Structure 1
Amino acid sequence: MLIAQITDIHLGFEPDSPGEFNRQRLDRVVAELRTMIPQPDMLLATGDLIDRGDRGSYERLSEALSGLPFPVYYALGNHDERANFAAVFPEAQFNSGFLQYAIETPAMRLLVLDTLEEGRHGGAFCEERAAWLTAELDAKPERRTLIVQHHPPIEVGIAWMNTDPAEPWTMRLAECLRGRTNVIGLVCGHIHRAVTTHWEDLVVATCPSTAPQVALDLRPIDPDVPDQRPLIVADPPAYALHWFNGRELVTHWQTAEDHTVLARYDANLQGMIQHMLAERPG
């Protein structure tokens, strides 16, 4: 099974701009996914879908992702607004006012969580959302399950983007997931960088953004002293591919740009490929 992921699209950062930079970057990623072989089985769009919560930007997002040859599933981030999203995507599956739902596939189950608290930059996961997750996990305890959300429950080392591990929402999420041997991982966004770590015996992977990326700077930050450090950089738009081989979930990150090819599979390299494959059992 192949799952594509995009995140932190931030459409509408340049309101009313027909040539918006973030839309151009999104279109480059979508063009790659549309023509990819093999095709993804689905696309996860994991929050900060638009920048200002407005309905018009959601309509442009719907247009940009229309006609893909695989289904698109959405999560919400801190720049999103539930009412305007629901107006443009009426098929969205809300539970008790939160965009939380299950995706059932032959290979695995995905549970999409809502970590949005409108007006807050960081994540949230209240008791009502936790109760829904617990009930869903209890309902199918043997089913391989991937957790999907916007905010990572981890401290990534970039001081202004960190999640404090003592935040109540992360502890509440951990309580839901602790000891669940069928949960194979957690994928999210928000950081605008490719990051992976272990948390609560789970692999957590964050997807880089289709919009500009967050600069990698691991120095402490003083909110009272602007030090001219770079915060946002125009590195290429990017996406993730999560490949499930029936045992492990393997994550690849890719940029949507021209890549200089240094070798191709031609007759000169055929012997090398034959030799490598012949070494493998079966």
Structure 2
Amino acid sequence: MLIAQMTDIHIGFEPEARPEELNRTRFRAVLERIQKQPNPIDLLLLTGDITDRGDAESFTKTAELLTDLDMPIKVMMGNHDSREGLLGAFPETETCADGFVQSAWVQEGLLVVLLDTMDPELHGGAFCEKRRDWLAATLAAHPDLPVVIFMHHPPAVSGIEWMDPNPEDPWMANFAAGLSGHETRVQSIHCGHLHRQFNASFCGIPVSVTPSVAPLVSMDLRPISSKKPDARALITTEPPTYALHRWDGKDFVSHYERVSDWEVIAYYGPHLQPMIKHMEDEKASVVL
């Protein structure tokens, strides 16, 4: 199973841009690459901040760009989105009994869990007691399956201070409580929000953040203060990125590809057969 993840698209950041806003151009580029790359994708997952302002027009524009894709698509909440706008443009999206955009399903022996970490009053994450209880019940209902979790906000500190959560925030304690007793089954947690790739852990579980489709956050790990604007770079036009997550029934592995112009410098033809054959033979010679 292959899951493509795109995150932080931010359609509508420049609603009056002509002929087309930068974020929409970057979104188109990633969609084109996903369709042209050689790996058959089983699911495209948009993990939040699909829009910049949560407005219906931006959600509609996003949905229109997805109509020609020949793969299932699921969408998730980010702090810039609105539940009403998302469900209006993507009415097939599943919600849980409390109205949060959360869902889970089993595919190829893997429990895939999508969480809603959005609070309309907050820039950072949220995970209330109702969401905690839903997660705990979902994990308990499938006690023997490996799990992968997708959520918008990373439950980890990257060192990019202005984007990081407070590790003492109650939402993280609620998330940990929802995971309690199931940590060893969770293969990994995959997020967005930070607009930059980083890897960490939470409750002993690997956490990976996929870089944004919209412009990236600059990798500046120096302390920052609202009292001293120091002219540092905050946002850059580094290439948009998507992730490709592979589940083979045993291991969950993640790849990341930047989308930009590049040249192929080696094609697999007869001249490279000896190299491939040598690598095959080397692996086959391993005695278990």
| Structure 1 residue 153, shift from structure 2 partner | 0.3
| TM-score, normalised relative to structure 1 | 0.96
Corresponding position of 1:10: 10
| Structure 1 residue 268, shift from structure 2 partner | 2.4
Contact 1:194 1:253 in 2 (8 A): no
The worse-fitting range, judged by mean Cα deviation, of 125-134 and 79-88 is: 79-88
Corresponding position of 2:73: 72
Give the whole-Å Cα distance in 2 for the aligned partners of 1:178 and 1:196.
21
Counterpart check, 1:97 vs 2:99: yes
Deviations 1:223-246 (A, max 9, x none): 110000000000011100111222
Contact 1:109 1:145 in 2 (8 A): yes
Give the whole-Å Cα distance in 2 for the aligned partners of 1:92 and 1:246.
26
| Structure 1 residue 272, shift from structure 2 partner | 1.1
Corresponding position of 2:153: 151
Give the whole-Å Cα distance in 1 for the aligned partners of 2:200 and 2:248.
20
| TM-score, normalised relative to structure 2 | 0.94
Residue 280 of structure 1 aligns to a residue whose secondary structure is helix
Residue 185 of structure 1 aligns to a residue whose secondary structure is strand
- Write the letter of the residue equivalent to 1:76: M
Contact 1:6 1:240 in 2 (8 A): yes
- Write the letter of the residue equivalent to 2:56: R
- Write the letter of the residue equivalent to 2:7: T
Give the whole-Å Cα distance in 2 for the aligned partners of 1:107 and 1:51.
35
Deviations 1:179-216 (A, max 9, x none): 31222111110011111122211111111011100000
| Structure 1 residue 119, shift from structure 2 partner | 2.3
Corresponding position of 2:198: 195
Give the whole-Å Cα distance in 1 for the aligned partners of 2:262 and 2:173.
41
Give the whole-Å Cα distance in 2 for the aligned partners of 1:254 and 1:163.
26
* Structure 1 unaligned residues grouped into runs of 5+: none
Contact 2:108 2:249 in 1 (8 A): no
Give the whole-Å Cα distance in 2 for the aligned partners of 1:44 and 1:88.
15
Give the whole-Å Cα distance in 2 for the aligned partners of 1:4 and 1:27.
15
Question: What is the percent sequence identity of the aligned residues?
Answer: 43
Give the whole-Å Cα distance in 1 for the aligned partners of 2:272 and 2:225.
54
Deviations 1:46-105 (A, max 9, x none): 000000110000000101111212111111010001112112222111221210111331
The worse-fitting range, judged by mean Cα deviation, of 146-155 and 268-277 is: 268-277
The worse-fitting range, judged by mean Cα deviation, of 35-44 and 142-151 is: 35-44
Corresponding position of 1:49: 50
* Structure 2 unaligned residues grouped into runs of 5+: none
Corresponding position of 2:20: 19
Aligned pairs for 1:259-274 within 5 A: 259-274=262-277
Q: Which of the numbers 169, 172, 175 marks the counterpart of 2:171?
A: 169
| Structure 1 residue 247, shift from structure 2 partner | 2.0
RMSD: 1.3
Aligned pairs for 1:106-255 within 5 A: 106-180=108-182, 181-255=184-258
Residue 131 of structure 1 aligns to a residue whose secondary structure is helix
Residue 87 of structure 2 aligns to a residue whose secondary structure is helix
- Write the letter of the residue equivalent to 1:179: G
Contact 2:109 2:145 in 1 (8 A): no
| Structure 1 residue 140, shift from structure 2 partner | 0.6
- Write the letter of the residue equivalent to 1:185: S
| Structure 1 residue 278, shift from structure 2 partner | 1.1
Equivalent pairs counted in the alignment come to 282
Contact 1:33 1:39 in 2 (8 A): no
Give the whole-Å Cα distance in 1 for the aligned partners of 2:61 and 2:157.
33
The worse-fitting range, judged by mean Cα deviation, of 190-199 and 226-235 is: 190-199
Residue 283 of structure 2 aligns to a residue whose secondary structure is coil
Residue 25 of structure 2 aligns to a residue whose secondary structure is helix
Residue 145 of structure 2 aligns to a residue whose secondary structure is coil
